[in-house]
Amino acid sequence: MEGVVMDIGKRDFWRPIFGLLTLQPLVLLWCIYFNLDYIQNLGIFSIICTLYLIPVYAWYERKCDDMEREEKPVGWPY
């Protein structure tokens, strides 16, 4: 099964965690403004999303690298 197992590098691992940490001040303000309980509503969901995004970012990075090697444009067409 070639191509099924994917290497996950440090960049793939730390990018969503960094995003999670940097978004927390906004999430906390959102909870305060709308009087929501952070842990019950967004805390656990944020952690689950972060774990989900680790392999998604790894796949995306590999796909972009492959497209750049093939000289296809990567990202949004401007």
Cβ neighbours for 58, distance < 8 A, ≥ 6 positions apart: 6, 7, 8, 9, 12
Polymer length in residues for the chain: 78
Question: In a 10 Å sphere around its CB, with 0-12 CB exposed, 13-18 middle and 19+ buried, how is residue 12 labelled?
Answer: buried
Whole-prediction pTM value?
0.59
Under a CB-based contact definition with an 8 Å cutoff, are residues 12 and 54 in contact? Answer: yes
Query: How confident is the model over 16-53, as pLDDT tens digits?
Result: 888 888 888 888 898 899 998 888 877 778 888 888 98
Residue spans per domain, the chain: 10-69
**Backbone dihedral region for residue 9 (phi beyond 0: left; psi -120 to 50: alpha; all else: beta):** beta
Query: How confident is the model over 49-68, as pLDDT tens digits?
Result: 888 988 888 888 888 888 77
